[in-house]
Structure formats: C-alpha cells, structure tokens
C-alpha cells in the first residue's frame, strides 16, 4: 500500500468502459479512487505529470515460466519481477513446470510468500493438472485452488490421454475451476523441430504438422461439451485451430484462448539458417497462419496475449536445432510487440489493451484489468509512439534467448505502479 498519488494530464485508457479520454487519475491507499478532467491536487499527494502519456491497467501476463525453484540461474522470481516491471506487467501467472513441479499446497504457498517478499509485481501461479506433470493421476484441485492456484495445467505438455482429460475437465467443473491445455497432439509432434512445410523441407528439419494443434483442440472441445467445464487453450498458432475455437464460441461453449507475440510478429522463415532462438513450442507457423492469428485477435476469437516467457541459458540454445530447447523470453517485449498490432492498423488500441489486461483478468477471475474507482491501482504509464530498437543484452531477465535483436518497435513503458506503489520508472 502507499499514500496518495495523482497522475495528471494523461490519456486514460480502459477497455472495460471503452474509455479513451484526457484527464487525471487519483490513487489512494493502493486503489483508484477517482478519474476525470482536472482533479484537484492537495497536500500529501504525490503528483506525476504524464504530459499526454497513456495510463492503462497494468498488463496481466497469464503465461510465464520461472525456473524458481530448480534452475534459478536461468530465471528467478526476482529477476522475472524486474523484467516484468520494466515491461509494464503488474501481474504474472507462473506455469507449474518448475523442479519440483507445483502440484502440492506447500509449493503454491511458496510462490505467494516469495511474491510478498520480493515486493515487485504480483505473482500468481497455476498448479499442475496432473501429479508430476505426468499426465496420469489428477492433482488435488480443490485443495490447490483453496491455497491460491488460479488454474490447472501441465504447462508445456498436453494432457494426451483423452480419459484423463475428461476426468480433469469433470473434476474442474465440480469446483468451477479453469483448465489450461497445451494444444498439441504429442504423437503427431514427436520428433519434430519446426513447422512442417516447405521451409522445414529445405532446411532438412523434421516438421510438426499444424494438424497436431487442430486435432487436440477439436478433441478437447468435444470433451468440453460432455463435461461443461471451462477450458482455455494456450498459445494458439494455426488458422484451423482458431476457426474451431471461433465456431465453439458461437455455440456458447465456455472456451477461451491466448496467443503469444511471436505467433503474430514472426513466421517460420525466422528460423532462417537454423536459428535456435526462433525455436518455440508450438513452432512458428506459416505466413497464412500468422495472418490468421492477427485476424483472431481483431475479431476477439483470441481472448488474450501472453508473453509465453520461457527463459533458457546459452547451453540450452547453442545446440543443433533439433537438440535445442524451445522458448523465447518475452516479458520486456510483450507491450511493444503487441502495440505493433495497433500501429499496423490491424487491431484497435483498446482491443490490444483488452487482450493484455481485461480478458486475462476475467478468464482468471482476478480483481484487476480496469481503471474503475475502487479497482486495485495496478497501472502502467506508457509512451505509445516512442521508437526504440530491441536489445536483448539490456534485458533484465537472466536469460537472453529472443530473436528480436535490432527489431524497431514503437511504444515503451515509462512507469509501472503496483498497489499504488511505483515499482519501475524509466530514465528519459
């Protein structure tokens, strides 16, 4: 908590209210208390002159991998918190694929305790959908949810067994909990290294069929209809899968999905001459699929944008392409890469912010993602048009595995506020 803070002469943006106006915003004791034109300052109020910069709800990144506990040399909660704050992220949700996996109450409580101790951004966590992430025996959903888990997932592993998935959905439905699936049929993806197609053939790399994503999505949509549970598909990357989700939504199924910036900012050609920094799971897709992801964001089929932050050290990436680890770090580039959708006139500014803030909050049932009076003062101030070049060497993350070096972008977080307390300010 903090005292009183007045943000003056800002462009206030709130996707919940479809608000885009010039004005001021007042924070008291960690919450938004008023917004509007020409709010009056007074003694004891810290004033921040925004000079037209944008003020929006802080980003809620619903897919972040830590290596803490287990491999803190790649990324700790503290280093991830520093990176998140610099990127305008005020809430991170951790995947449970740590060592050991987050599949018991003590580890969920450990994450909450570390978040309080670090005092940077809010850190929440998913719990493992199956014990040990092994895809066989279900975790104790009720106890884990009561301890603070916001959803259940086997992280970057699909729940492959249809009977296990049906039981997981039924169990989640009993407690009205969210299940998150990595949509990739493992037997079709086994041994693959990049997207199946002409580029993979030319490079002589084993391909992963886009059908692996579609088949898993369609299977689980059918299981949703049987169970009535809430299901979220992570990092969708193919036009066919997006179409299937679009149709399911039209039938009223409680399905949601997210994507990551690399699926609308890059395509399979980024692999180039075996660039392992462009190796992700699911793989970068064709240009047609990239455009389908943009279209899915534009029409709202894709609910959210998550960084899919996946830190790896040099030893894991400086390997032959087929042996290298999959993943890109993305906390510090989530905002500017997403704002490119607006600058390219593909998606409106409020729709981009909706995918970064409001929809993740709604899906995870978090009391955030809005500027309304009474809401938590988790805020970002950003310069919408500030140009800069991405430099991974300057990342605050411990790991630097990203393919964006030298990429020109527009838009930068200049101040991040969590609970009314400034946790990051960028020097001009």
pLDDT score recorded for residue 167: 98
**CATH number attached to the domain at 57-364:** 3.20.20.140
Residue 145 and residue 92: Cα distance in Å, rounded? 17
Q: Encode pLDDT of 180-194 as tens digits.
A: 999 999 999 999 999
What does the pLDDT read at residue 428? Answer: 66
Percent of the chain clearing pLDDT 90 (strictly above): 96
Task: Please report which confidence band the pLDDT of residue 329 belongs to, taking 50, 70 and 90 as the band edges.
Answer: very high
User: What is the band of 387 on the pLDDT scale with cuts at 50, 70, 90?
Assistant: very high
Strands 4-14 and 54-57: parallel
* Reported pTM: 0.96
Instruction: Give 90-114 pLDDT, tens digit per residue.
Output: 999 999 999 999 999 999 999 999 9
pLDDT of 161-170, one tens digit each?
A: 999 999 999 9
**Tell me, what's the pLDDT at 3?**
78
* pLDDT tops 90 at residue 43: no
Which residues of 15-104 form beta strands (DSSP E)?
19-28, 31-36, 45-49, 54-57, 59-64, 89-94
**DSSP per-residue letters across 191-224:** T--EESSHHHHHHTPPEE-THHHHHHHHHHHHHH
**pLDDT tens digits for range 113-144:** 999 999 999 999 999 999 999 999 999 999 99
| Mean pLDDT, range 143-155, rounded to an integer | 97
pLDDT of 120 reads 96
308 labelled catalytic: yes
Burial of residue 30, with CB atoms counted within 10 A of its CB: 0-12 exposed, 13-18 middle, 19 or more buried: middle
Average pLDDT over residues 82-90: 98
Q: What was the pLDDT predicted at 179? A: 98
Catalytic residue among 308, 315, 346, 391: 308
What is the arithmetic mean of pLDDT over 300-320? 96
List the domain boundaries for the chain. 57-364
Q: Which of 182, 250, 190 is nearest to 220 (CA)?
A: 182
**How wide is the angle at C-alpha 290 spanned by C-alphas 288 and 296, nearest 5°?**
105
Specify the pLDDT at position 1. Answer: 43
CA-CA distances (angstroms) from residue 414 to 92, 341, 382, 383? 19, 20, 5, 7
pLDDT higher than 70, residue 274: yes
């Amino acid at each position: 908590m903090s005292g009183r803070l007045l943000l003056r002469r800002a462009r206030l943006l709130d996707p919940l209210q479809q608000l885009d106006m010039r004005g001021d915003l007042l924070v008291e004791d960690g919450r938004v208390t008023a917004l509007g034109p020409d709010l009056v300052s007074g003694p004891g109020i810290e004033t921040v002159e925004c000079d037209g910069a944008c003020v929006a709800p802080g980003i809620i990144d619903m897919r972040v991998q830590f290596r803490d506990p287990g491999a803190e040399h790649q990324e700790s909660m503290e280093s991830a918190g520093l990176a998140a704050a610099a990127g305008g992220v005020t809430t991170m949700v951790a995947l449970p694929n740590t060592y050991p996996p987050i599949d018991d109450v003590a580890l969920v409580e450990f994450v909450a305790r570390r978040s309080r101790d670090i005092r940077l951004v809010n850190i929440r966590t998913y719990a493992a959908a199956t014990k040990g992430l092994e895809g066989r025996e279900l975790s104790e959903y009720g106890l884990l949810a009561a301890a603070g888990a916001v959803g259940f997932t086997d992280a970057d592993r699909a729940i492959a067994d249809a009977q296990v998935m049906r039981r997981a959905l039924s169990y989640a439905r009993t407690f009205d909990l969210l299940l998150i699936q990595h949509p990739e049929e493992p037997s079709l993806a086994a041994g693959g290294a990049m997207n199946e197609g002409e580029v993979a053939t030319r490079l002589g790399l084993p391909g992963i069929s886009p059908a692996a994503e579609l088949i898993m999505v369609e299977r689980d949509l059918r299981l949703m209809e049987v169970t009535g549970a809430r299901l979220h598909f992570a990092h969708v990357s193919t036009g066919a899968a997006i179409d299937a989700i679009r149709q399911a939504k039209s039938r009223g199924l409680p399905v949601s999905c997210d994507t990551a910036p690399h699926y609308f900012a890059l395509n399979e050609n980024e692999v180039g001459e075996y660039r392992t920094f462009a190796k992700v799971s699911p793989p970068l897709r064709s240009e047609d699929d990239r455009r389908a992801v943009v279209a899915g964001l534009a029409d709202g089929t894709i609910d959210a944008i998550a960084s899919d932050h996946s830190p790896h050290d040099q030893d894991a990436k400086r390997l032959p392409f087929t042996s290298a680890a999959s993943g890109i770090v993305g906390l510090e580039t989530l905002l500017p890469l997403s704002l490119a959708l607006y600058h390219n006139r593909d998606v409106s500014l409020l729709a981009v912010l909706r995918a970064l803030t409001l929809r993740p909050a709604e899906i995870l049932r978090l009391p955030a993602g809005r500027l309304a009076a009474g809401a938590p003062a988790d805020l970002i101030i950003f310069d919408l048009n500030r140009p800069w070049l991405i430099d991974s060497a300057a990342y605050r993350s411990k790991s630097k595995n990203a393919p964006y070096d030298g990429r020109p972008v527009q838009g930068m977080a200049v101040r991040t506020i969590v609970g009314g307390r400034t946790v990051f300010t960028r020097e001009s």
